[in-house]
Amino acid sequence: MKTLKDAKVGDTVIVKRLHGEGVLKRRFMDMGITKGVQLTIRKVAPLGDPMEVNLRNYELSLRRADCEMIEVE
Amino acid sequence: MDIKIALAGNPNSGKTTMFNDLTGSTQRVGNWPGVTVEKKEGRLKHDKNVIIQDLPGIYSLSPYTLEEVIARDYLLNETPDVILNIVDGSNIERNLYLTTQLLEIGCPVVVALNMIDVVRKNGDVIDVEKLSIELGCPVVVTSARQGEGTREAAEMAILQAKAHQQAGHPHVFEGPVEHAVAHIEEGIKNHVPASHLRWYSIKLFERDEKVIQQLALGHEVMAGIEDAVTTCENEMDDDAESIITNERYAYISKLMDVSVKKAPRKGNLTISDKIDRVVTNRWLALPIFAAVMVVIYFIAITTIGAIVTDFTNDTLFGEWIIAPMHGWMETIGAPLWLDGLLVDGIIGGVGAVLGFVPQMLVLFLMLAILEEVGYMARVAFIMDRIFRKFGLSGKSFIPMLIGSGCSVPGIMASRTIENERDRRMTVMTTSFIPCGAKMPIVGLIAGALFGGAWWVAPSAYFIGVAAVIVSGIILKKTKPFAGEPAPFVMELPAYHAPQVGGVLRSMWERGWSFIKRAGTVILLASIVIWFLSSYGVADGNFGMVEDMDTSILAAIGGAIAPIFAPLGFGNWQATVATVMGLVAKEEVVGVFGVLYGVSGDAMTMVEEGAFSGLAPIGAHFTMLSAYSFLLFNLLCAPCFAAMGAIRREMNSAKWTAFAIAYLCVFAYAIALIVYQLGMLFTGHGFTVATAIALVVLAFLLFMLLRPTPGRNKSKLAAARTRAAGSP
């Protein structure tokens, strides 16, 4: 299973499924990370975490550990 | 009858600018009851019968974040006459997500399509009429920054409110969902107000815990609902919450296709992207961040800040007000106690409050600019990695840095942290960082006992930082801070040029809220301490006393001094100095000078490095007990002004008490461990106190190293879902 955590800077991926439940999952979805949406990895913070992702025409910053919940292809 | 307009929208949608533009100078700023979230209310500039209630910036109406719950409760329980929904036109897709939820509440809605200037500049075209028809509510084009359309938006909202024109229900959901929702509506229509029926039904479909709790429906009804939801979930092969969110976004995508024409992007880079390429660049981000912080520190603390603070404290209050007041009181022959109460107690107390304000305004001005520009979000992005380990936010760096100058503005700077738990943690730990006023104490101890050793001052900073880290780790595992950490899923807003009006307003609001809320605490405390330290029994009579030795405070100090005996400074002088330090930390030095009979001004000696004059103080301490005294004074409850700031930011007496108690207990524990183990290692034998210190140390280590309670469970659950998810 490939997750967003494995994606590299510059990659564009499509969300296949969100794992987990509760607050974090809902927050992801509220911010527009839903099935089928396209994510572009823009950059990683200087200390290696979090990372910046572009989706639905805006910039979102996510922690790598949390990205494990997002299955992509 | 007044008309109530609720202002709702995403963070960074220009909601605050819109609110300022609509209400002008009629704003009232407070807090939502019992929480640290700001509440702003005002009246429409052109029509004083219209109340405008600003809601917290939110992305959704989920039950998970404090801000969202506040907004929900307000919209449902306070029943505003109309919702004015600010939508950032340049980020329309995600902003409309909230709109689809607001439309379900059953209240008239007007959409203000904001930042239209940015949309135009990008060359995008939005078909407003189409959008309005599809959404079933009026859409007004606005640019709050340029004052365009804001009045029209408010007037449209008033019109809708007067007509009780409920928003239509756009066809957001597909058949199976609508079917289930209709089913739920049927089941609960006698339990909820008719206007909110759709809202409650959709929330029940999502299995929204807050709504389930609130409605407390009977078993039969709930079983019927669960049945409808499960059927739909099986049909759509997803969980109910995901179905709803997915369909909202799917609906918005379709809406985008018919109503928005995006201009092709040149080279795919906006101005914000270009700035970010430098500012959050892998190699440049940290140096730039450091440079920004140096500039802020330099301006707010070292140069302008120090000048204005010295002016208000020494010149304005010291020379221009207090000294002439003393002289005047003398000429009119006022009794000594009145002179003392008015001038030293009250005016001195007011001075203690106001003395910080100019410096705070300078600092708040710069923080407001950083926020307006959009750099604050980048600070969190850059620093998150380090700070989240201690249960703090990346934005906690700024309060800590400012705190090294003065804890008061430092604590107030925590306002920029969006998560309540991180904010509370920052408020609690900021005063560990030694502020400017604690430096004289460090100088005193270093001079009187360590011969001015160079390492004492750096060790104070090191201990401060260590105390923040240790406390962060300990506290985040305790009950008040327990539970799932807040998700860090944060928008990086586009950069904007700061607006003079907005920046100045934000600066003034924060300064004023400090004066108002913290001022009373500081003033009262100053008067009490003044009374205790200048009254006492001398020559058998109660009255004002010349020497502090005979004051009530000295008596109290003598009574509670034994508490500090295990820390090595169980004498009344040290106790009194510590208490006086609560007025202002640098007082400790002066009080020591007086109580130990230093000839001359102890503060001047510390400043000039004339350590030999401090010998009378040194005679009462050992190196170890002096260092223990220093530790306790660095870490314990800060001065009243900072406690007032804590009170202001916590907005709760309970949390304030908890914070101050924690600081004192932590300071006591550390000083105890250092003193007792120091005694042990310097050959003073193993005593009961040593044993206690070892127990305290063991407890501290346990709290520090124990796994987070409940963490294993959630990890297991996550592993299980992962296992279930993989084919």
Task: Flag if B487 and A27 touch (Cβ within 8 Å).
Answer: yes
- SS3 category, B495: coil
Q: Residue B212 contacts by C-beta under 8 Å, 6 or more apart in sequence?
A: B204, B222
Domains of chain A (ranges plus CATH)?
4-72 (2.30.30.90)
Task: Flag if B491 and A31 touch (Cβ within 8 Å).
Answer: yes
> With contact defined as beta carbons under 8 Å apart, do B87 and B96 qualify?
yes
State the pLDDT confidence band at B313, using cuts at 50, 70 and 90. confident
Two tokens at B56? 């917290």
State residue B241's pLDDT score. 93
Whether residue B725 is predicted with pLDDT greater than 70 in this model: the reply is no
Among the listed residues B144, B129, B203, B137, the one whose alpha carbon sits nearest the alpha carbon of residue B170: B137
B713 contact A CB<8A = no
Among the listed residues B256, B609, B649, the one whose alpha carbon sits nearest the alpha carbon of residue B431: B649
State the pLDDT confidence band at B719, using cuts at 50, 70 and 90. very low
State residue B667's pLDDT score. 97
Two tokens at B416? 């920029």
Task: Flag if B725 and A71 touch (Cβ within 8 Å).
Answer: yes
Mutation for testing the B interface, residue in A1, A58, A63 having most B CBs under 10 Å: A58
Measured in whole angstroms, the distance separating CA A21 from the mean position of its chain's CA atoms is 15
State residue B230's pLDDT score. 96
Task: Flag if A27 and B280 touch (Cβ within 8 Å).
Answer: no
Two tokens at A38? 């396209």
State the pLDDT confidence band at B502, using cuts at 50, 70 and 90. confident
State residue B703's pLDDT score. 92
Whether residue B723 is predicted with pLDDT greater than 70 in this model: the reply is no
State residue A69's pLDDT score. 92
Q: Residue B8 contacts by C-beta under 8 Å, 6 or more apart in sequence?
A: B15, B55, B58, B71, B75, B83, B84, B85, B86, B98, B102
Which residues of chain B does A45 touch, with a Cβ-Cβ cutoff of 8 Å? 280, 285, 381-382, 384-385
pLDDT tens digits along B521-555 = 778 888 888 888 888 887 788 888 878 888 999 99
Task: Flag if A46 and B492 touch (Cβ within 8 Å).
Answer: no
Among the listed residues B100, B417, B62, B102, the one whose alpha carbon sits nearest the alpha carbon of residue A29: B62
Task: Flag if A29 and B725 touch (Cβ within 8 Å).
Answer: no
- Residue B261 phi, psi (nearest 5): -115, 110
- What one-letter code names the amino acid at B365? L
Report the distance separating Cα B130 and Cα B692, nearest Å: 74
Q: What is the DSSP letter of B299?
A: I
What DSSP line would sit under B143-186, residue for residue? Answer: BGGGTBSHHHHHHHHHHHHHHT-PPP----S-HHHHHHHHHHHH
> With contact defined as beta carbons under 8 Å apart, do B83 and B102 qualify?
yes
Mean pLDDT of B660-672: 97
How close is the nearest chain A Cα to the Cα of B425, in Å? 20
Q: Residue B144 contacts by C-beta under 8 Å, 6 or more apart in sequence?
A: B14, B17, B18, B21, B86, B112, B114, B115, B150
Among the listed residues B309, B304, B458, B484, the one whose alpha carbon sits nearest the alpha carbon of residue B391: B484
State residue B266's pLDDT score. 62
State the pLDDT confidence band at B306, using cuts at 50, 70 and 90. confident
- What one-letter code names the amino acid at B124? D
**Chain A to chain B, count of Cβ pairs less than 8 Å apart?**
127
Which residues are B114's β-sheet partners?
B88
Q: Residue B107 contacts by C-beta under 8 Å, 6 or more apart in sequence?
A: B75, B79, B80, B81, B82, B83, B166, B167, B195
State the pLDDT confidence band at B595, using cuts at 50, 70 and 90. confident
Two tokens at B485? 């950490």
pLDDT tens digits along B58-105 = 999 998 888 899 999 999 999 899 999 999 999 999 999 999 999 999
Report the distance separating Cα B304 and Cα B366, nearest Å: 12
Which residues are B110's β-sheet partners?
B84
pLDDT above 90 coverage of chain B, percent: 52
pLDDT tens digits along A40-73 = 999 999 988 899 999 998 999 999 989 999 999 8
pLDDT tens digits along B134-193 = 999 999 999 999 999 999 999 999 999 999 888 778 889 999 999 999 999 999 999 999
Pairing of strands B260-261, B125-126: antiparallel
**ipTM score of complex:** 0.96
Roughly how many angstroms between the first and final C-alpha of chain A, as a whole number? 9
Which residues of chain B does A18 touch, with a Cβ-Cβ cutoff of 8 Å? 242
| CB-based burial label for B565 (10 Å; 0-12, 13-18, 19+) | exposed
B490 contact A CB<8A = yes
Task: Flag if A61 and B491 touch (Cβ within 8 Å).
Answer: yes
How close is the nearest chain B Cα to the Cα of A58, in Å? 7
Nearest CB to B93 within list A20, A45, A57: A57
pLDDT above 70 coverage of chain B, percent: 96
Report the distance separating Cα B422 and Cα B418, nearest Å: 8
Which residues of chain A does B285 touch, with a Cβ-Cβ cutoff of 8 Å? 45-46
> With contact defined as beta carbons under 8 Å apart, do B24 and B33 qualify?
no
Nearest CB to A58 within list B94, B280, B385: B94
- What one-letter code names the amino acid at B480? P
| CB-based burial label for B96 (10 Å; 0-12, 13-18, 19+) | buried
Two tokens at B357? 């304000």
